[in-house]
Amino acid sequence: MGRMGFYFNMNTCLGCGACQVACKDKNGLQPGEFFRRVDTVVLMDHGVPTYHHYSGACNHCENPICVDTCTTGAMHKAPDGTVVHDDGICIGCGTCLWNCPYGSISFSKVNGMGQKCDACADLRAEGKEPACVTACPTHSLQFGDLDELQREFGTTLNAISILPDADLTKPSLTIKLPKSTTQGGNAHE
């Protein structure tokens, strides 16, 4: 098995937020805390702004900046390639939060430390899907072996103007872009 990652289909996402709510409920997150967020974004379609939904969380990068900058090793890569956090050795410095180019790390108001998506490692250990994947009514989110997801859905890795250049961190993410969207324009959240 290779790197684990997410697939997201922008064509079928309704922007309903079921994935965000399921994640928040499963992880007992407080108001203002998040692991996954759904935003409405603007992409350009031949010079015309078009509105789409984007569901984003930790991309479990191959070269995670959060891991590289963590001063204690609390942020680290698991054997399956996902990026996970060890609460027991985190000192709450916020370095991971400030350095994640995707804004995917939240600060726990309860524990005073960084926190993020671990792709529901506990559920996956039981043979289940991550909560966000299970909650999506249109199956716009999937999680699994990145090579298999790319064979099934294509190899567009993070190629969307609202996200940082994929060469920066090599995210474990495949996105199916809106059908006629060009990538030359600015995006707004």
Q: Express as a percent the part of the chain with pLDDT over 90.
A: 74
CATH value at residue 58: 3.30.70.20
Residue 183 lies in a domain: no
Residue 121 lies in a domain: yes
pLDDT of residue 47: 86
pLDDT of residue 161: 77
pLDDT of residue 185: 40
Out of 13-27, 133-147, 174-188, pick the least confident: 174-188
Residue 160 lies in a domain: yes
Residue 181 lies in a domain: no
pLDDT of residue 40: 94
Angstrom distances, CA of residue 146 to CA of 114, 162, 177: 26, 21, 17
Residue 29 lies in a domain: yes
- pLDDT per residue as tens digits for the range 43-93: 888 889 989 999 999 999 999 999 999 999 999 999 999 999 999 999 999
| Whole-angstrom distance, CA of residue 22 vs CA of residue 131 | 6
pLDDT confidence of 180, banded at 50, 70, 90?
A: low
User: What is the CA angle 104-141-166, rounded to 5?
Assistant: 50
Single out the residue of 180, 168, 122, 148 nearest to residue 6, CA to CA.
Answer: 148
| Whole-angstrom distance, CA of residue 117 vs CA of residue 126 | 17
Neighbours of 20 (CB within 10 A): 22
- pLDDT per residue as tens digits for the range 146-166: 999 988 887 665 567 788 888
pLDDT of residue 107: 92
pLDDT confidence of 106, banded at 50, 70, 90?
A: very high
For residue 124, the enclosing domain spans 4-176
Residue 77 lies in a domain: yes
Residue 187 lies in a domain: no
pTM: 0.89
Number of folded domains that form the chain: 1
Residue 43 lies in a domain: yes
